[in-house]
Chains A and B, each alone.
Chain A
Amino acid sequence: MAEKVSFWQRLIKGLTKTRDNFIKSMDYIFNGFTNIDEDFYEELEEVLIMGDIGVRTTETILDDLRDAVKKEHIKEPSECKAFLINEIKEQMALGEAAFDFEKKTSVVLVIGVNGVGKTTTIGKLAGKLKANGKKVMVAGADTFRAAASDQLKEWADRAGVDFVGGPEGSDPAAVVYDAVHAAKARGVDVLLVDTAGRLHNKKNLMNELSKINNTISKEFPEAYRETLIVLDGTTGQNALVQAKEFSEVTDISGIVLTKLDGTAKGGIAIAIQSELKLPVKYIGVGETIDDLEKFNADEFVDALFYVG
């Protein structure tokens, strides 16, 4: 098989329609302006906010840009582009250890609000790890939503990995308990735990999550822990609140940003990175098992600002 072209490359080459409008508008800004004036900043503000980056982060970015323009005597809009790309790239870059869990005996807890793509992401991740020769198990700790475990089971079959679950209405922490012991007994490398969608402002559901978290810590202290929060790329400013509130309950180690195959820009991830220092590790770009990619800051920003 030829080397798989990444989503971002496809994007930039215009193989998907996703960001056409965005790319056009950025093109217009950097090429259409001859001076760095107030109109230029205003247009830039519009494009950034339309990308869901948020008012405050946009302000910060533009303030930094204004400073740089002054200090470094930037005269050309195109130089502004280079500056912005660098700044965001630096901020979004992943550390060395970002994907360590893939190589260790680990438990990956997947959390997030309703319908963002947790179960699907687990299916994709299971497929990926399995393809890398790992022994994988998925645990269906969503015992609440109708047919949640049927859905996860189907994904487990697609990925060809083990599935452990419990009946609808049963205690999710009990499912996790069973899964952890099964994983240990079977010598599983990575245990992926699917949880029910929950809104962060529901106290009892957040407590339930704590309990699941504690069960893992207690029953499998030697495992490497990874907690991924799944955020819908279409979500606006509330994603920041979600990341904040879920962080209160568990130590989040990374973000999966889904549904970027739509026209939403997922810019809120930049705000989250800047305020909470939580890195995006994967992006979801479709509904098939192959539609999960490791996050690449360079490509993300390149696509955002379109440097072909």
Chain B
Amino acid sequence: MAFDSLSEKLQGVFKNLRSKGRLSEADVKAALKEVKMALLEADVNFKVVKQFTNTVTERAIGSDVMNGLNPGQMVIKIVNEELVNLMGSDVKDITFGTGGAITTIMMVGLQGAGKTTTTAKLAGKVKQRGKKPLLVACDIYRPAAIEQLQINGKKQEVEVFSLGDKEKPVKIAKAAMDYAKKNGFDVVIFDTAGRLHIDEDMMDELASIKNSVDILNTILVVDAMTGQDAVNVSSTFDEKIGIDGVIITKLDGDTRGGAALSIKAVTGKPILYAGMGEKLSDLEQFHPDRMASRILGMGDVLSLIEKAEAEIDKDAALQLSKKVKKASFDFNDYLTSMEQMKKLGGLTSILGMMPGINASQMAQIEGAVDDKKLAHTEAIILSMTPAERENPKLLNPSRKHRIAAGAGLDIAEVNRFIKQFEQSKKMMKQMPNMMGKGRRGMRFPF
């Protein structure tokens, strides 16, 4: 496989990199040459790759090499972070109409991308949310396009509106809206014919649908296997019609899917959903950060980096638990561990890793550092003087009042937090012993 040899090559290059402490320009360049290759193999557009690697070069040169990583891996770590940056990390959805307005969705894209199938999949999704969707057959050109939508509509138990293939799509769209209003549909999804972005007449057709019907979501459907041309296609659709979001299909294949990155880079429009198969239930929320690592295709290197990061966290955790044993755990440590917790995916996921914690202890701890309360907790600690943070015993009522005012919180909340802090501290003293018996042996302060 092409990818194996790339990964091997990369490892080879890494061996020869020698920056110690800080990344040198030469090492960054050498590693990025391989990254560039990997991205191009993944079908990220050449120009996008070029710009991206320039950004990374600037950031990487002179950065500290993290403990446990070699310089090459450090570059990959930065690359991955920048990729996630570019892809975005938020999960986005279609826009629903407000104030009783019908949610309109128009599916557009090249031939065979997956519009008709995705229209039916999306109908299932909105139905699950208690909506009443209507599908509209605006593809009057492709043989049996209407039948295809009708069959899929039936499978989803969703009504399909069609005027056959003799009426113009604009007329069909308008009539469908009237029909939807009269019959209480609150979501209307228009399936349109596949078209080339350079086909002016067909692009005008979409523009005129948009002119005569208030389209809330214009969704570009793109095949995940698309190559370099993804840039031309998506930017032209965006310029000529205006797109609001993207759905990427056929991600159940083994393509690396670099088109996703290209599209995000040139249009800035969010990718909402991923098509994961031919079945009408195979539509998933799109996770841009996961896509970033799929495109980079260096899973082995990335998991190595994760391990190194976990090592570092483990080091810090070990430090903390030593402090706990000596009962010298203070508010500064509390802050540090809150930071770690955020990184490691919240409290419950950490508690899940710890043997020997029962439900009531879990509830207590959760009360103390409930993810939602983290911001408040942080504000409280930050309102303490350095001396108070190091020595919780200093906290007398007048100090507590000052802290509450500083944090903009009620005194009761400050009291509750401090009480919980003392409780957790007590519990933590016992915990290293309990955890010693555990199989996984991860030591966290909470």
Interface residues of A (CB under 8 A from B): 17-18, 21, 46, 49-52, 54-56, 113-117, 123, 144-148, 150-151, 153-155, 158, 168, 197, 199-202, 232, 234-241, 259, 261-265, 268, 287
Contacts and interface: CB of A to CB of B under 8 A. Distances in A.
A237 B43 contact: yes
Interface stretch (B146-154, B168-176, B341-349, B377-385): B146-154
Interface stretch (B10-18, B67-75, B223-231, B410-418): B223-231
A263 B46 contact: no
State the majority secondary structure of interface residues on B.
Answer: loop
B228 A236 contact: yes
A56 B252 CA distance: 25
B250 A199 contact: yes
Contact of B253 (A117, A154, A199, A259): A199
Contacts of A263: 196-198, 229, 232-233
Contact of B43 (A116, A117, A147, A236): A236
B196 A261 contact: yes
Nearest to A52: B227
Contact of B112 (A49, A117, A147, A148): A117
B152 A146 contact: yes
Given A146-B148, A151-B144, A236-B259, 12 more contacts: A52-B43, A52-B228, A55-B37, A115-B112, A146-B151, A155-B143, A158-B143, A201-B253, A201-B254, A236-B227, A241-B255, A259-B110
A155 B42 CA distance: 35
Given A146-B152, A201-B254, A262 B225 contact: no
B113 interface: yes
7 contacts: A114-B250, A117-B112, A150-B147, A199-B252, A234-B223, A238-B225, A263-B232
Interface of B: 2, 37, 40-43, 45-47, 110-114, 141-145, 147-148, 150-152, 155, 196-198, 223, 225-229, 232-233, 250, 252-256, 258-259, 278
B198 A262 contact: yes
B41 A262 contact: no
Contacts of A51: 228
B41 A237 contact: yes
A144 B278 contact: yes
Contact of B40 (A49, A239, A264): A49
A234 B258 contact: no
Q: Which of A17, A144, A151, A237 has the most CB of B within 10 A?
A: A237
Nearest to A46: B46
Contacts of A54: 40-41
Q: Which of B45, B150, B233, B255 has the most CB of A within 10 A?
A: B255
Contacts of A153: 144
